Amino acid sequence: MEPTSLSDSRQCALGRLAGDVMAPSILLLLVEDEPLIIDVLEEALNDSGFEVVKASNGTKALKKIDADAAKFRAVITDIRLGSEPDGWAVARHAREIIPNMPVVYMSGDSTHEWASQGVPGSVMLAKPFAPAQLVTAVATLVTEADMHPPPPPAG
């Protein structure tokens, strides 16, 4: 695809830099079982300079976290993922491995559970939300996490 706008060419330039000067890229784990929505969210995040690893349910998400949690700069997760484990469990698991992992939840009907099921310092986006809300939340949390590095392992 040809670059057709300033926005595209910027992405290309960043793409090159991501592979060269500024590598590695800024990787996010995005967990959502609705294909249409996950693609829209991925595009919004890509446009903002983030790269995304997608997981369509909780089991796949846990696997990716167990394989290499440290490569993700944030976890973005829907709450209801079709089957167990749900988004609450995914985020909790990520935090057990990386205690300062930024977490953004997205939900339509489970937002009222955030107060009891969410992890400290997380953001809950109530659907419907604007892409800018997701990008601003992720950008803010990733920056804050870098400024307050993780605690030493529990052991």
Q: What percent helix, strand, coil does the chain show, rounded to 5? A: 50, 15, 35
Closest approach, Cβ 116 to a copy of itself, in A, equals: 4
CB nearer to a copy of itself: pick between 62 and 135? 135
**Two tokens, residue 61:** 């998400």
Q: How many helices (H) and strands (E) does the chain have?
A: 6, 5
* 10 versus 63: smaller Cβ distance to a copy of itself: 10
Site string for a copy of itself, 110-149 (x = CB under 8 A): -xxxxxxxxxxxxxxxxxxxxxxx-xxxxxx-xx--xxxx
Residue window 21-60: x/- pattern of binding to a copy of itself, with contact defined by CB under 8 A: xxxxxx-------x-xx-xx--xx-xxxxx----------
Work out whether 14 is an interface residue with a copy of itself (CB under 8 A): yes
> 64 or 95, CB closer to a copy of itself?
95
> Residue 59: exposed, middle, or buried by beta-carbon count in 10 A (0-12, 13-18, 19+)?
middle
Question: Crossing angle, helix 87-97 and helix 58-68, to 10 degrees?
Answer: 10
Interface of this chain with a copy of itself, residues 66 to 85, rule: CB under 8 A? none
